[in-house]
Structure 1
């Protein structure tokens, strides 16, 4: 495993981190989930990412059980808050009430006294940003989180949050956007703003929901049990399940072979070529997937290979920064 600093902070994270969105407590039985976490630890992954909303809070509980008994100082644990975790009007968003209550729920499920990074899962249009940032600052001062970060915030929202973080003297160190060969939305605005403010990128879905593994073939139904057949996962992967996208992805296979990489390894290695990226989140339903993907750590792709990848994908790459969406909670 290779390691990088998270933004300009002193926190060191593994280049590849393990996330359990859409798997633990949902798609994957607990025994398999525990085996995947063990595999991650065995190959040197020290960074684990989850969220209170994943599998209706079950994912946090599974990860807590999986990490029980591990030396707490030996791994970095990240979770997030925003999406609904209950039926009430105050059971979601970034109000002080929900943030302060949510951190306690997450810590209980994760069986830990603190998380290394507590992230705002989205920007909350219905709560003053000052209220949210003060709540996060209080959580840091209480020792329940060491650092704070955000996920899917726009460049302007990041700058506003960073200004308040400086005023409150709280370590605001990360952004977690979707980023892959096919989804380069953060490149134009979010990544430059993050670099300016000292935030590192912890990118999710570097394999574009699995599409960049090449397992989805044009003109054929998706494999049984894949994310495209899962009721939750299918709505996220739909934007990539287009014939022209799938056909162009197949043309990446010889490039991966020339580089001595699997398609999954190529996809993860590609995002890690961007030095603004601190870590790429992978998921897994089987331990062997972890063992395969982790080999992308430390890989250097040649400029010629990167150019050829761009030539293959061409017009199907999504780059529009307006696609960093902010849900309007006031509606």
Structure 2
């Protein structure tokens, strides 16, 4: 039985009737790579006890193994399907010419294959994992509506689309009397703010866009565990395929900001990770913040971010802002 925790906050996913926990859990980089079914069950149990109800996945994560591990873990835990909100994302399904992108063919086949791996009849949310520059948006909108009509997914959305692309999808959907994208999954954290705080502002109002944000800790940079000379050997940025990401993220300017944020966290009796997560949750346009911990102690620490939320007064937010000094211009212009 999936749990309900009084401390958890539940928010509507944009303008939909669906409620998601303000903190959620994602399988990116972890499940199938660093996490097997046994550990997955422990992590999911801890999430469940904390009141998390949303679990994020994608066909590309660990080549499909992330979905297999999550599906098997949920099955073994015996959770009631209606108690949880599960997502997957489609774009990179394999190496064949039609295994990639957002064609009708890949959306329909990719959905069926994802459900098979998850051992589920449906996902609650299905995302277009990236925009497809060569597929007509009408084809994608129609295919996503077909998936919903079949009962294979309840809501569809986008990930890392521009405000303009989301608007186009909505215009097509409205013209055809179809369902538009209910949610977007962008990166959002103290170091990465443009889309959530500026670009999407007009479409929150116009289309009621919900957001399921990823990388609230900027791949661990906002935990404070990295420095110029030190990348912990078991950390994400130490993994071979994230070497480029490490060089890009661990620049002096960023590390200086991180150091200056540490005393604020200490003063609030929080870790820097907890402060960074709470800062994301505080934004009312964030429906849910996806955590990606691969170790139980990390996850338990990060879940305490909700205790920090009430401590983020206007004064504290101003102090953080003066350190970050990266607030995007308030009005989005479509270029």
The residue number in structure 1 matching 2:173 is 165
Task: Name the Cα RMSD after superposition.
Answer: 1.7
Q: Could you tell me the TM-score, scaled by structure 1's length?
A: 0.91
The residue number in structure 1 matching 2:214 is 204
The residue number in structure 2 matching 1:18 is 25
The residue number in structure 1 matching 2:284 is 275
Between the aligned partners of 1:34 and 1:230, the Cα distance in structure 2 is 24
The within-5 A match list for 1:261-272 is 261-272=270-281
Between the aligned partners of 2:66 and 2:236, the Cα distance in structure 1 is 17
Query: Does the aligned pair in 1 maintain the 2:158–2:184 contact within 8 Å?
Result: yes
Cα 1:235/1:58, change in 2 over 3 Å: farther
2:322 pairs with one of 311, 317, 322 = 311
The residue number in structure 1 matching 2:5 is none
Between the aligned partners of 1:71 and 1:233, the Cα distance in structure 2 is 36
Between the aligned partners of 1:263 and 1:256, the Cα distance in structure 2 is 5
Query: Does the aligned pair in 1 maintain the 2:170–2:180 contact within 8 Å?
Result: no
> CA offsets per residue over residues 274-324 of structure 1, 9 Å max, x none?
11110000011111222111122361311111111111122xx48599xxx
The residue number in structure 2 matching 1:255 is 264
Q: Could you tell me the TM-score, scaled by structure 2's length?
A: 0.90
Unaligned runs of 5+ in 1: 322-331
> CA offsets per residue over residues 71-107 of structure 1, 9 Å max, x none?
0000100110012x22211010000000000000110
Relative contact order, CA 8 A, sep 6+: which one is greater?
1
Between the aligned partners of 2:244 and 2:70, the Cα distance in structure 1 is 25
Name the SS of the counterpart of 1:297 in structure 2: helix
Between the aligned partners of 2:189 and 2:24, the Cα distance in structure 1 is 15
1:33 pairs with one of 26, 40, 47 = 40
The residue number in structure 1 matching 2:140 is 132
Query: Does the aligned pair in 2 maintain the 1:24–1:62 contact within 8 Å?
Result: yes
The Cα shift of 1:195 comes to 3.6
The within-5 A match list for 1:139-150 is 139-150=147-158
2:242 pairs with one of 212, 222, 233 = 233
Check if 1:194 corresponds to 2:204: yes
Cα 1:195/1:260, change in 2 over 3 Å: farther
Moved more, 29-38 or 182-191: 29-38
